[in-house]
Amino acid sequence: MKYSIVLISCLLLTSCGARVKANITDQRELLTIDDKVAFLEVKHAVPQSAKKVGSAKFGDSGVSTDCNYDSNLVKARKIARANGANIVKIIEVKTPDLWSSCHRMKIDFYYYDGDVSQLAQTQIQIK
């Protein structure tokens, strides 16, 4: 009985986080906290000279929390900086529905040698 309670507690604690699966194919030098990262929505074009660094999928692991649109982008920015990408390109977004309480997203990461602050982009709300 004691082991059942421990097992159930562990499952509940680990299933509350959003699932993030990243695939980095061209890791670059780590970006600092001062380096700008641009967020490009589906409608925004990636500059032709940008080089793809990798991709990620943000999903639901059951009873997930902290997986809304902005929190997913904050996590994506951390992944981008850790792998030298300065563009987070949103490829696809599925909003929460009957089956999931999370924003499910597909994202690509790019490195751009130009000024990312000059790109058409979206802003995120950091809470």
Q: What are phi and psi of 120, to 5 degrees?
A: -65, 125
Going by C-alpha positions, the residue among 124, 119, 123 that lies closest to residue 45 is: 119
Question: In this structure, what token pair is assigned to residue 33?
Answer: 């906290």
pLDDT at 95 over 80: yes
Domain ranges of the chain: 17-118
Considering 4-13, 73-82, 113-122, the range whose residues carry the highest mean pLDDT is 73-82
Question: pLDDT, tens digit, for every residue of 22-43?
Answer: 999 999 999 999 999 999 999 9
Question: pLDDT, tens digit, for every residue of 37-89?
Answer: 999 999 999 999 999 999 999 988 766 678 899 999 999 999 999 999 999 99
- Tracing tokens 């950091």 back to the chain, one arrives at 126
